[in-house]
Amino acid sequence: MTERSAIIDSFRAYGNKLAEELGGLVGSPVRFDEAIRYAVVEAESLSRGSDPIVYTSCTPKDDSGRSLYYLCSREHAVEWAGCLRDLPPEQIEAKAKEPLDPEIADAYGEVMDLAVAVFERVSQGFEKSADVPGFAREELTEILSPAENAIPVQAGSYQQVCFEFGVADKVAVIEMYLPVAAAEDWLGGTIRSDEPSQPVGKDAPTRSGPILLVDPSEEDRKAFEAMQGDLGRRVWAVDPSDFGRAMLDEIADAGGVILAWNLGVCGGMDAFDLLRSCESTDQIPVALASDNPTRSRVLRAMRKGAQTFLKKPYLASEIAERFLGTEIGIETGSAPRSEEDRAGDSAPSSAPEGAPEAAETEAAAPESPPDA
């Protein structure tokens, strides 16, 4: 694979994952057109005509100076914001003709926060020569300038990528601009996949070990353990009181960990921080889960580096597709089972062979605020 095709595949993987997470944010499916438009442009050529655009600058958290930029027409920014705020079509149409108001700017800012968080996380799934440093998103700016006024980006060459998404019956485009050298460093390697040209939107874990669920609900734990056949993986589930620092070395070979948002003895994000604090578990893919995956919860988890956010009650199909990057009945070699079949399953009396035994109880930590 050439370096250019590797970079394009990397952008395609980013677009797929961003569409998936945006769908969770707006509460309805978001389609991604994989025929992305890609070009190398010079900073001085970036003029936008008379159409108003929303400009977002993202400053790197290292000293590289390689800022990341997003551009979106006002019309499309309002489309995103309208979906997030459930605005009626006539109100969206009216707002698209007016300067951004605080409500629209705030809602579109959430889209940008997610776009940056997903880019940082998805980039971890590629072989590359340098790590993405993380970015701090600056305030949104609406540019109403005439054609001769250039976009305020740093001098140099940029990879311009146009991502086209379908939201409800509308099309919304977001343009991303990366310094050429940064794109080569961050995305220029090969995708960790046997088929690098295929859509890689699931951002799947590359680890093949068993999947651990930490959830205070005995009913949910039993339902998860009954999914072992469907998922094609060894699985086990533990009560949060049995999950703590003493257990971390024992789960070092896990293929992934699913954490309920509210664990009772602590918050799910507290448990996430615990996993990341130990060298033996800091690379394990993690998903958060809640019966109420609010936008603030999803964004908080994504910014921290969670693989995805699942909705409870757990579904084998969602875990397989969004967390494991497989499809029920294809990768696992078995057809999906009916709810009646699942109801007849009995939860394992003990953890699958090779799964760690329950560890001593970790001291309780303060529960995370519901939407913090």
CATH number at 56 reads: 3.40.1550.10
Q: Which residue is associated with the tokens 């005509």? A: 49
How far, in Å, CA of 224 to CA of 257, rounded? 12
Residue 300 lies in a domain: yes
Is residue 288 a part of any domain in this protein?
A: yes
Q: Are residues 178 and 220 in the same domain?
A: no
Q: Tell me whether residue 358 is in a domain.
A: no
| Contact by Cβ (8 Å): 300, 269 | yes
pTM, to two decimals: 0.56
Q: Angle of helix 268-276 relative to helix 295-304, nearest 10 degrees?
A: 10
Residues 177 and 217 in one domain: no
Cβ count within 10 A of residue 367: 16
Residue 243 belongs to some domain of the structure:
yes
Answer yes or no: do 261 and 301 share one domain.
yes
Nearest to 285 by CA among 249, 309, 314, 315: 309
Is 256 within 8 Å of 287 (Cβ atoms)? yes
Do 9 and 141 share a domain, yes or no?
A: yes
Q: Quick check: is 366 in a domain? A: no
Range of the domain at 253: 211-343
Residues 222 and 116 in one domain: no
Question: 105 with 132: CB under 8 angstroms?
Answer: no
CA-wise closest residue to 359 among 235, 248, 212: 248
Q: How does pLDDT run along the chain (372 residues), one tens digit per residue?
A: 445 566 777 788 888 889 888 888 877 788 888 777 777 777 777 765 567 888 898 888 877 777 889 988 888 899 888 888 888 888 888 988 888 888 888 989 989 999 988 888 877 766 555 667 778 888 788 876 555 456 778 888 888 888 888 877 778 888 888 888 777 777 754 333 233 333 333 344 446 789 999 999 999 999 999 999 888 889 999 999 999 888 888 898 899 999 999 998 888 988 998 998 888 888 898 999 999 887 778 877 877 778 888 989 999 988 988 888 765 443 333 333 333 333 333 333 334 333 433 333 333 334 344 443
Domain CATH code at residue 217: 3.40.50.2300
Q: For residue 348, tell me if it sits in a domain.
A: no
Residue ending a domain, choose from 171, 187, 203: 187
- Number of domains into which the chain is organized: 2
> Is 26 in the same domain as 142?
yes
Same domain, 153 and 74: yes
User: Are residues 221 and 347 in contact, defined by beta-carbon separation less than 8 angstroms?
Assistant: yes
